Amino acid sequence: MKKNELKNTNPLFKIFIVFCVVVASSWSIFTVAGTVKESNLKDRLVEKQTMLTKEVNQLFDEEVLEELTIEETQEKLTLLASQMDKIQNEMKNLTDKNQETLRQESDKIVANIQMMEDLVKIRQLQDSLFTVAVFDESGLNKEAQVKEDVTLAKIEEVQKAIEQNPQAEKLVKETKMVMDFAKKQVETKAAVDSWLAKNKNKYTEKNYEAFEKLVKAVTPKAAQEAYKKPLADFKKAVDKQIKKEKEEAKKKAEAKKKAEAEAKEEQQQAAASSRNNQSATGSNAPSSQAPSAGNQSSANGSATNQQKPANQAVQNQAPAAPPVQPAPAPRTDGFNFKGQHFDLSSFSGVGAVPQWTPYIYQWSDDPSHYLIEKASNAGSAIWSVGIGDQVVINGQTYTVFNMMSNVPNDDNAYGILKSQGATVTWQTCDSANPNSTLTLWFAA
């Protein structure tokens, strides 16, 4: 349109054109302002995400984590999760494209927070078995005691709960360490309690030694304090019993000595009486004349009659008892339990021990471990040995403090064998087949 033509344009049309220009300008200004506002919001959210990511990553730092208790870590995670929720709510004000850009980082943060929460839950489950935290800055807290109400069934329940946790694989070694530690505490205490229930009033020096050895096997050492008084009371009872037995033995010895003295005195009196009678008979015979045949007969008759009391005294004595043969001393060489003895042989670890063997085999690679063939006589007899029983191996006495059955015969078996801190161990198969599980005995 030419300039002079615009001058001749209808006034209403001019107003319309001006209005359109104004509206177009306003829309352009609004678009720029909206873009700037979203850009600023996006930048703020990215900055918050960066800070949050840094805080979450710090929790995965072992040094930082060791300085926090489980409760402090849980509080920290709750706060981080709350901040993440706020960021996600603000993200709704962004365009779909910008939301998608920020969502990737948000998902990573949420996943890391959830991972840490799962790991904390595992730690809480582990700690639920103990009176204090089972891990400290040095690792496993070996002085942590299990709670009074913890049983093997409770430990199994906690272990299953941990296995269902999504992060269980990350702490599988630590969990096994904790479960074994808890089981050993429960089992060693149960061994003492079971033995004490069976031998409560059997006060002998040998039983005291067995009781003391079982108490020393209890872990941790602080838990042994609970048995300090029962052990001292048992020792007092043993000393009292020994004193009583000595007094009774002394009385019996004195009574025997008195009886022997009285019997000897009676024998001496009988002998003296016999001599007196013989002397009296000799004084009545004529001294100047030899006795006649009749007198000799009479004298012989008198002598015979006078000797009867002495002979009768000898005849009335009880016949001497045959000498008592001492019982053979129990064998202490080889492998001995419950009155049974088995010789030892050596096993190199290659192949298998022979069936129907008379021996128990000592493992050459680990002389503290013994193998018992199930089909042998020892394999049948060993099942009579339980917790609290004693075995004698090459002169050393050991007390059983734990047993484990249905142990898989795989690469983990040796680790289980050494997990209880036993002085000696032995094994036999649960069934007669090459893939049988094992039963293990632990003694100290």
Q: What is the predicted pLDDT for the residue at 343?
A: 96
Q: Is the pLDDT of residue 278 over 70?
A: no
The pLDDT-based confidence of 271 (bands split at 50, 70, 90) is: confident
Q: What is the mean pLDDT of residues 194-213?
A: 90
Q: What is the predicted pLDDT for the residue at 188?
A: 92
DSSP 382-411: GGG--TT-EEEETTEEEEEEEEEEEE-SST
Report domain 335-443's class: mainly beta
Q: Is the pLDDT of residue 65 over 80?
A: no
Q: 323 by DSSP, 3-state: which? A: coil
Residue type at position 236: K
* Averaged confidence pLDDT in the chain: 82
Q: Which residue has the higher pLDDT, 17 or 430?
A: 430
Q: Is the pLDDT of residue 149 over 90?
A: yes
122 and 167 Cβ atoms separated by less than 8 Å: yes
Percent of the chain with pLDDT over 70: 80
Q: What is the predicted pLDDT for the residue at 73?
A: 87
The pLDDT-based confidence of 136 (bands split at 50, 70, 90) is: confident
Q: What is the predicted pLDDT for the residue at 29?
A: 37
Poorest-confidence range of 37-46, 253-262, 286-295, 358-367?
286-295
User: Which CA distances in Å does 333 have to 315, 341, 364, 397, 444?
Assistant: 50, 8, 18, 11, 18
Q: Is the pLDDT of residue 74 over 90?
A: no
pLDDT tens-place string over residues 288-344: 444 444 444 443 444 444 444 444 544 455 555 566 566 677 889 999 999 999 999
Burial 358-378 (b: 16+ CB within 10 A, else e): ebbbbbeeeeebbbbbbebeb
Q: Is the pLDDT of residue 135 over 70?
A: yes
Q: What is the mean pLDDT of residues 38-46?
A: 90
Residues 356, 408: Cα–Cα separation, whole Å: 23
List the domain boundaries for the chain.
3-127, 199-276, 335-443
Q: Which residue has the higher pLDDT, 78 or 311?
A: 78
Residue 18 in tokens: 């001006």
Q: Which of 379, 440, 385, 444 is nearest to 415 (CA)?
A: 440
Q: What is the mean pLDDT of residues 277-285?
A: 54
Burial 64-100 (b: 16+ CB within 10 A, else e): ebeeeeeeebbebbeebbebbeebbeebeebeeebbe
Q: What is the predicted pLDDT for the residue at 159?
A: 93
pLDDT tens-place string over residues 3-16: 444 445 455 444 44
pLDDT tens-place string over residues 117-133: 998 999 899 999 999 99
Residues 76, 118: Cα–Cα separation, whole Å: 14
Q: 43 by DSSP, 3-state: which? A: helix
Q: Is the pLDDT of residue 440 over 50?
A: yes
Q: What is the predicted pLDDT for the residue at 324?
A: 59
Q: What is the predicted pLDDT for the residue at 284?
A: 47
